Structure 1
Amino acid sequence: MAKQNIYDNETFFNEYSKLREREVNANNLFEIPTLYALMPDLEGKRVLDLGCGTGERCIDYLNRGAIQVTGIDISEKMLAVAKSQNSDPRITYIKMPMEDIGTIDGEFDVVISSLALHYVEDFQGVVANVYRLLSDGGIFLFSQEHPINTCFSGEFDRWTCDENGTKIYANIANYCVEKRYESTWFVEGIQRYHRMFSTTINTLADAGFKILRIEEPHATEEIVQKYPDYYDLYHKPDFLFVKACK
């Protein structure tokens, strides 16, 4: 089956860009701070970014001491922005789906992926290739949609609410059914892959990785007081982070 490249859909790309331009969004409040809290020391390191998008973080990795950064992404639109706005002689951008990283030559000290692996069908294959590409002691750090969220396919109401419309709890179904599903986010037909938490961790362990840290960022009282819409995250986390070592 052809790999989906939804970020080159004009409508999706424009709406996603507007979302990321907003100061208050889940990426800025939860995903980015957690990713950098888990980030290893990049001084003198060679970094591979899986799903690099528009390249802002590739530049930041250089600013944090990386000597070489390779960013891959399947989206021509994302890479066009990366090359025009976030270029540097020490950065190489490659148009490539993550499933094809086995064709990359060289070795890396750190492999990072931000909210991209839930689009990948062959997670086991990607993990095996990451392990091969990493130097001994190298770090694999990634975030993905939390399995609690990816098991929801829109077949029923996402939330159970009280008479005032306040969300009481999230509705979960088919968590143990691992599959590809489609959802609507700006456009219809967004393809994601649901894997149980245990599958994600066991796949890493079976490939030879040592799990160093797992994080599930959630709302704090301070955030909820300032941004009440994020009360949802008292019920369930949006993201799962894993830091592993070869």
Structure 2
Amino acid sequence: MLAVAKVENAFENIEYMHLDMNDINIIDGKFDIVYSSIAFHYVKSFSKVLRDINYLLKDNALLIYSQEHPLTTAPKQGPIWTLDENKKPLFYNLSNYMESGERSVKWFVEGVIKYHRPFSEIINTLIEKMLEKFIGPPLKDAFIEYYNFSEDQSFQAIKYFREYFKEKGMLQNKVYEHMEQLLIKLKELGLNLIVATSKPTVFAKQILGHFKLDMYFDLIIGSNLDGTRSKKGQILLNANATYIVENVSDIFEKIVNA
């Protein structure tokens, strides 16, 4: 197929590559459109391929794709129709729809491996992986950079987000396994622990308090609700200054006794 494409669609600005879609992370460059036709149901890790695609897309770029319908990939024995006496379809035998995972079916030949995912999993994975770029930077900056929001629009979007976040969102997470044991060990070693986050300080304290981890930290500091002190550099400087002011006598004593 590549040989035909190179003959029929040979242009200087088109490069053809023979590459497993699981390895697209090795591609260097950013693109306006990523297009995939009837392929994603052959990928074991949908989240990985979406994450790789996300990092290949320019801002405001598009992912356009098609895949085999989940109603077709669902039955573990492959799609089966119940027929009448004249061999005309009566109804489709849908089964195993909510059971994600590998399917070995006949597609021209026996043993073709596909991966079934219900619609809800597909949509949730798309939302999660295509919004990963929002993890890390302040929300205001992310809305402006990735959605071309004005500053006023960005503040309005943050307002809507926080209405949900303070009621439900901030508690819809879980602590990494063994994290509390790690914090206990660090405190036993006499270390001072500080949380510096671009989340608003008030939310950071509530989250850590909810999971009963706030007791392990000497200082919890983040951004302000009015959008100030949202840059991580500002937060780190403020955390250092605040800690020094609050613990100046202990710090001085350690220097004298060093």
TM-score, normalization: structure 1?
0.50
- The residue aligned with 1:175 is 97
DSSP-derived class of the 2:15 partner: strand
- The residue aligned with 1:12 is none
Q: Which residue of the other structure, out of 97, 108, 121, is the alignment partner of 1:186?
A: 108
Q: How far did 1:209 drift?
A: 4.7
5+ residue gaps, structure 1, are: 1-77, 211-244
DSSP-derived class of the 1:204 partner: helix
Please list the CA deviations of residues 79-129 of structure 1 after superposition, one character each: whole Å capped at 9, or x if unmatched: 233223332222111111111111111100111101011111111001011
Please list the CA deviations of residues 141-184 of structure 1 after superposition, one character each: whole Å capped at 9, or x if unmatched: 100000000012336x7112233332121001111111111212
Q: Provide the rounded CA distance (Å) in 2 between the counterparts of 1:209 and 1:166.
A: 45
Q: Provide the rounded CA distance (Å) in 1 between the counterparts of 2:106 and 2:32.
A: 36
DSSP-derived class of the 2:36 partner: strand
- The residue aligned with 1:94 is 17
Q: Provide the rounded CA distance (Å) in 1 between the counterparts of 2:89 and 2:56.
A: 44
Please list the CA deviations of residues 196-228 of structure 1 after superposition, one character each: whole Å capped at 9, or x if unmatched: 111111011012359xxxxxxxxxxxxxxxxxx
- The residue aligned with 1:83 is 6
Q: After the TM superposition, which residues 214-229 of structure 1 pair with which residues of structure 2 at under 5 Å, given as runs? A: none
CA RMSD of aligned residues (A): 2.2
Q: How far did 1:189 drift?
A: 1.7
- The residue aligned with 1:114 is 37
Letter of the structure 2 residue corresponding to residue 169 of structure 1: F
Please list the CA deviations of residues 20-73 of structure 1 after superposition, one character each: whole Å capped at 9, or x if unmatched: xxxxxxxxxxxxxxxxxxxxxxxxxxxxxxxxxxxxxxxxxxxxxxxxxxxxxx
Is 2:56 the counterpart of 1:144?
A: no
Q: Provide the rounded CA distance (Å) in 1 between the counterparts of 2:19 and 2:50.
A: 16
Q: Which residue of the other structure, out of 115, 123, 128, is the alignment partner of 2:51?
A: 128
Q: Which residue of the other structure, out of 70, 82, 102, is the alignment partner of 1:160?
A: 82
Identity in percent: 43
5+ residue gaps, structure 2, are: 133-145, 148-258
Aligned length: 134
Q: Which has the higher helix share?
A: 2
Q: Provide the rounded CA distance (Å) in 1 between the counterparts of 2:113 and 2:60.
A: 34
Letter of the structure 1 residue corresponding to residue 14 of structure 2: I
Q: Provide the rounded CA distance (Å) in 2 between the counterparts of 1:204 and 1:132.
A: 14
TM-score, normalization: structure 2?
0.48
Q: Provide the rounded CA distance (Å) in 1 between the counterparts of 2:22 and 2:54.
A: 13
- The residue aligned with 2:26 is 103
Is 2:117 the counterpart of 1:195?
A: yes
